[in-house]
Structure 1
Amino acid sequence: MDQADKLKKGEKGAWLSIYAYVVLATAKLIVASIWNSEALHADGLNNTTDIVASIAVLIGLKISRKPPDEDHHYGHYRAETVASMFAAFVIVTVGIQVIIGTFGQLFADETARPGMLTAWTALGGAAVMFVVYGYNARLSKKIGSSSLNAAAQDNRSDALVSIGAFAGIIGAQFGLYWLDPLAGLIVGIIICKTAWNIFSEATHTLTDGFDEKQIKKIKTSIAKVREVKKVVDVKGRVHGNQTFIDVTILVNPNLNVKESHAITEKIEKFLREKHNITYAHIHIEPYE
């Protein structure tokens, strides 16, 4: 399966998230407004932002499938990362709105007791999102998609948020009315934390950040190749669901061009099979 096919397959996960969020957001907002639950209302708003975030992921996946052109010699894979960053801004905006709205309710003199239907709606929403999370987590790992992985983590956060809303509503049934708006406040904080995690990962990728531990593993693997005398340097960048590696190695100076080229092909194949690296630029220098 090539990269374009993997990205196309990833779109199924984005569509699944969109369908789930549309249904859950609609149900939660309607039930929350009728049966008075700040926690469920905050949860519904959270799912509303997730619709926008999932659409951004879907668009990013579609753009990433475009082949290289005159202006994008390495393809459009980073569109995935840009989509993730956009989603983070949308999510944090609503998170702040939820915090402001529920903070006032937390210190109100009177708080209406939410109906039990709001609790079951929240619990049902959690169950649905855990299923969606499981599907997207497996799919993102299979195709190596950073944006779909971010969507999967958001799915899991949403499930936990719904469980928190459920707990707050149940507490309110026993006279602890402040638990419902408190759960809403916690939901808002979790929304902002999720946005920060997505934003941090996206900015790290866009600024050519790369996992140091992964670099060490790659360097150690290349050093085990018999023809390589020394690994001078290894640099890495991430483009969407692809890893680009630049390697400088020292080899026997008496090798001819054909023999040196055979070493680079051997290393490229090794990196592709062992580390799933699809692009490696290997620079050869003579070993003194």
Structure 2
Amino acid sequence: MAVKEELRAGAKASRNSTIALIFLAAIKGSVGFYSGSSSLIADAIHTSMDIFTSLAVWVGLKLSLKSSGEHFPYGYYKAENLVALFVSLLIILSGVELVREALSTIRDPAEIEFQGLALGAAVFSVITIYALSQYKFRVGNEIGSQALIADATHSYTDVFSSMVVVVAIIGSMLGMPWLDSLGVLVISVVIFKLGISTAKESALTLMDAWLDRDSIETIRESVEHIPGVNRVDDIRLRRSGLVVFGEMQVESAGECDLKRVEFLSAEIEEVVKDKIKNLEHLSVDVKPGKMSELRIAIPVAGSEGLQSKLSRHIGKTPYYIFVDMEDNKLKNWNVVENPAADLERKRGVKTAEFLEEKGVNVIIVKDIGEGPFHKFHDSFIRILGMPDDVDDVQALIERITELDVITSPTE
């Protein structure tokens, strides 16, 4: 589901919740006045306050749907986080109100008339509010809306307050009005905990804190497995309403042109999108890595080691010598037969695949066709030109720092 569609789904859920709460508050208020149940009247007032909470969430989600403007280039998505913080404060205030009501009823327990009618309205309220909370939880979790989840949490705490009304009415019927006050005090503790937790998460999100550290490590590991990425230097993610914005700095496996940087950036963004839901934009800074350790592939006509004569072909050459160097100093070498030399078709491409499997990051050639060139280029293997006045491997290695980079096919 696209972000805009998710925002519309969240706004629809808030609108439906608001309508249901208006209907419920009217029922509880009417029955409360008719039966004389002060707890049911108080619960109706409480539900009336929840109407404004749902309206606030609806407004926040509708604001998030607005297109970016000159003053809000990142969109209005954080309106949703602001509303979530506002709702969490209302949750805490609801807990304070419940404590106040509990202390009041301890001193002056109420007598209820038409107890059956009052009990029926209270039970209906519990069922309706519970259904509303689960509906908003489901939609909120599906779209990742902090505000809608906070509102669902608020509704869920209202289930308990409505259950207190049920207990109060039953207690009145059984001659035990003190059950009301005891239940309210217990529920208020739960409400405070939920409210503080939601407020903390909303405030941290507004301050661009990223709370899911495990996802950072998962992204780092996934991106570092992309061919052409040496390492990930920095990852920064921040949530704005339902969407996520990110920045990443990576080091490529050697130098690469702008086209390859663009391709690599797009590949990284696709990997991150698989890990982070609703990724709106990822800025990738690709810095070329310095290759201190080189594994060089050189086509040779024979297997005489560093005295081997150079070959001017990529696919037809019978042997390749692999030369390992560190900080321009020779470490070791070995000569290997070219398994693609006797093939009739695609010798160059198959040779390129063979060299890639061997971990080569530099190849020195005289001429190169389009197929092997793009294969080497896409694998971040640097292609150096072989000079005409050099005959053997030893002399070529001594001039390694002077060789030009081949940037396009030569055949």
Aligned counterpart, 1:287 = 289
Measured against aligned partners, the alpha-carbon deviations of 1:36-66 in whole angstroms (never above 9, x if no partner) come to: 4454344323322211111111111111111
Q: Deviations over 1:96-143 (max 9, x none)?
A: 3342233122133x5425623322222211211232223222222332
- Is the partner of 2:229 in helix, strand or coil? coil
CA distance in 1, matches of 2:149, 2:27: 26
Alignment partner of 1:257 is 2:258: yes
1:221 and 2:235 aligned:
no
The secondary structure found in structure 2 opposite 1:220 is: helix
Letter aligned with residue 158 of structure 1: D
Residue aligning to 1:271: 272
- Identify if the C-alpha distance between structure 1 residues 44 and 218 changes in structure 2 by more than 3 Å, giving closer, same or farther: farther
Residue of structure 1 equivalent to 2:3:
3
Q: Note the C-alpha offset of 1:193.
A: 4.3
How much identity, in percent, do the aligned residues show? Answer: 26
Q: Output the CA distance in 1 between the equivalents of 2:193 and 2:47.
A: 15
CA distance in structure 1 between the partners assigned to 2:232 and 2:58 by the alignment: 39
Indicate how the Cα distance of structure 1 residues 30 and 52 shifts in structure 2: closer, same or farther if over 3 A, else same.
same
The Cα shift of 1:191 comes to: 4.8
Q: Tell me, what secondary structure is at the counterpart of 2:244? A: strand
Q: Deviations over 1:138-185 (max 9, x none)?
A: 222332322122222223222233234323432332221111233344
Q: Single out whichever of 275-284 and 153-162 deviates more from structure 2.
A: 153-162
The 2-side partners of 1:134 and 1:146 are apart by: 15
Q: Tell me, what secondary structure is at the counterpart of 1:209?
A: coil
Asked if structure 2 preserves the Cα contact closer than 8 Å seen for 1:7 and 1:64, the reply is: yes
Match of 2:111 in 1: 112
Q: Please list every run of 5 or more consecutive structure 1 residues that lacks an aligned counterpart in the other structure.
A: none
Letter in 2 for 1:252: A
Whether the aligned pair in 1 keeps the contact of 2:164 and 2:180 (CA below 8 Å) is no
Alignment correspondent of 1:29: 29
Are the counterparts in 2 of residues 165 and 187 from structure 1 also a CA contact under 8 Å?
no
Cα separation, partners in 2 of 1:144 and 1:60, compared to 1, 3 Å: same
Asked if the contact 2:87–2:154 (Cα under 8 Å) also holds between the matched residues in 1, the reply is: no
SS in 2 for 1:253: coil
Instruction: Name which of structure 1's ranges 110-119 and 147-156 shifts more when overlaid on structure 2.
Output: 110-119
- 3-state SS in 2 of match to 1:244: strand
2:12 is matched with: 12
Q: Deviation per CA, 1:68-98: give whole Å up to 9, x if none.
A: 1110111110011112223334444454334
Query: Residue 227 and residue 173 in structure 1: after superposition, are their counterparts in 2 closer, same or farther (change >3 A)?
Result: farther
SS of alignment partner, residue 24 of structure 2: helix
- Correspondence for 1:103: 103
Change (3 A) 1:67 1:263: same
CA distance in 2, matches of 1:157, 1:213: 30
- For 2:118 and 2:275, the matched residues in 1 are separated by 49
Q: Which has the higher helix share?
A: 1
Query: In 1, are the aligned partners of 2:14 and 2:55 still within 8 Å (CA)?
Result: yes
**What is the DSSP-based 3-state SS (H/G/I as helix, E as strand, rest coil) of the residue aligned with 2:76?**
coil
1:217–1:28: structure 2 CA closer, same or farther, 3 Å change rule? farther
Per residue, is there more strand in 1 or in 2?
2
CA deviations over 1:199-252 (Å, ceiling 9, x no partner) = 222211111111223323332332332332212221111101001122121211
Amino acid at match of 1:78: K
- Give the secondary-structure state (helix, strand or coil) at the position aligned to 1:278: strand
CA shift in 2, pair 1:111/1:136, >3 Å: closer
May I ask how many residue pairs the two structures share in their alignment?
287
Report the Cα offset of residue 189 of structure 1. Answer: 5.0
CA contact (8 A) 1:237 1:243 kept: yes
Matches within 5 A, 1:70-219: 70-108=70-108, 111-113=110-112, 115-186=115-186, 188-211=188-211, 212-219=213-220
Cα distance, 1:188 vs. partner?
5.0
Q: TM-score, normalised by structure 1?
A: 0.88
Please tell me whether the aligned partners of residues 251 and 289 of structure 2 are also in contact (alpha carbons under 8 angstroms).
yes
Change in Cα spacing, 1:227 to 1:156, as seen in structure 2 (3 Å) is: farther
Residue 230 of structure 1 is matched in structure 2 by 231
CA distance in 1, matches of 2:193, 2:105: 22
Report the AA paired with residue 21 of structure 2: Y
SS in structure 2 opposite 1:229?
strand
Structure 1 Cα separation of the partners of residues 171 and 126 of structure 2: 18
Deviates more, 1:79-88 or 1:232-241: 79-88
CA contact (8 A) 1:165 1:184 kept: no
Q: Which amino acid aligns with 2:111?
A: A
Q: How far apart are 1:196 and its partner, in Å? A: 2.8
Deviates more, 1:10-19 or 1:278-287: 278-287
1:134 and 1:91, CA in 2 relative to 1: closer, same or farther beyond 3 A?
closer
Query: C-alpha distance in 2, partners of 1:287/1:82?
Result: 42
